[in-house]
Amino acid sequence: MISVSPARAAAFDILLRIEEQDAYASELLHAAHYKKLSSADRGLMTELVMGVLRWRSVLDGTISQASSQKIQRLDREVLTALRMAVYQMRWLERIPARAAIHESVELVKRAHKRSAAPFVNAVLRKSDVKPRPPSTSEAGSPKELASQYAHPEWLVERWIKEFGIESTRLICQHDQEIPPTTIRLRVQDAERQLQEKGIRLSPGLLLRSARRMESGDVIQTQIRGEGPIRIQDEASQLVATLVGTGSRILDCCAAPGGKTSILADRNPNGRLIAAELHLHRARLLRTLVRAANVTVVAADARQLPLRTEFDRVLADVPCSGTGTLARNPEIKWRLKPEDLQDLQARQRAILTSALSRVASGGRLVYSTCSLEQEENESVVEQALAQDKSFRLLGCRQELERLEEQGELVWKDLGSLIRGRYLRTIPGRHPCDGFFTAILERKAPSD
């Protein structure tokens, strides 16, 4: 058997793990096991994994037309090999079709599905697979939009009702593109250190302390983690910045620690408790955030084992992640409409618990990286109806404060506001989709 290229073998294995174990591509692609690959192989591995995940429904449509068997009946290994080949032939012009076909046949053999090799070869040779031309027509219905941009139709329908057809189109387009790598500068000379390593940066588009990667490989440098920089989306950075300053701070769902690190940096004289449900993630958080003013605890945010009251609380709750589909495309194929109610119940429990830990006059920032109303406005409104000791503050005032201080550099401030909430929309804003609400506990005299 002819060996398969390291990049394709790695991509095939990762895609299978994502299917079989509900694993996340972003974690597997950066696993230590694949660090030994060359830069070129890592690049192709990432391109294949993310491309197949982004365009899965379009790939499956092409395969279905050429297959004598229904796609639902195909073994995972066979379907994954077919998806990889079709993606290469339609999107990667520099890879000859014969190479894509040959290696996908070999991948099936490698997966101990040798009997399926002739089938894979026949389907791929029968497929009318040509390089994908750029789209020139604008889809006018949810079904057309979902088909053109490889999104579940039910999700597209929701977004059109919530944001309108044009914003939904921008969201879908954004989800199908490679998002920029953005970083936060933690120390003054961080940019110089990166430049010395051959990394070229451009200014952040939302925040003064952010930078966008133009060239180079920051992941392979040694200046990350609690070093001079953190890799972090700009909207995520903005959420943590909105928490403000205090002497006692609580981060309820802290891992992997990007926002925790911002809170620690912005409150060097404050004490910060970072809670994380899973012990292994709490340990990872401790290795990534080593600031002396941070105490990491393994605890369920729904039942916080804390008696202290805090000036500032961040509840960045687990959510569907529909605002991050450009980085996590597997989510759109896993998520079901009924999942949103289950997530909402968990989010309400976390917010209720977190609110009980806010001191008089203190503030809580509630945030998600979801575009769904059930996880955002609905959770906040239900919490406020249940606990009359809190009021909802307008995010505009806090954004204006950051603008006056020179920290917020985005010019169209109004576009970030929806009602009293912060709302970033992928495609309209240069970042992931985040929702933020600021709640303040009323003082006794209020």
pLDDT tens for each residue of 163-177:
999 999 999 999 999
Domains, the chain? 6-126 (1.10.940.10), 142-175 (no CATH), 188-229 (no CATH), 232-441 (3.40.50.150)
pLDDT tens profile 206-248: 999 999 989 877 665 544 456 788 899 999 999 999 999 999 9
421: exposed, middle or buried (C-beta count within 10 Å: 0-12, 13-18, 19+)?
Answer: buried
Q: 369 catalytic, yes or no?
A: yes
CA angle 397, 402, 406 (to 5 degrees): 145
Percent of the chain with pLDDT over 70: 95
Predicted local confidence at residue 236, as pLDDT: 97
Indicate if the pLDDT at residue 140 is higher than 80: no
pLDDT of residue 152: 97
Annotated active-site residue in 172, 252, 369, 395: 369
Mean pLDDT for the chain?
92
Q: Model confidence over 374-427: pLDDT tens digits?
A: 999 999 999 999 999 999 999 999 999 999 999 999 999 999 999 999 999 999
Cβ atoms of 422 and 242 within 8 Å: the answer is yes
Distance from C-alpha of 398 to C-alpha of 396, rounded to nearest angstrom: 5
**Chain centroid offset of residue 196 CA:** 29
Return the exposure string of 33-48: e unless at least 16 CB atoms fall within 10 Å of the residue's CB, then b: ebeeeeeebbebbbbb
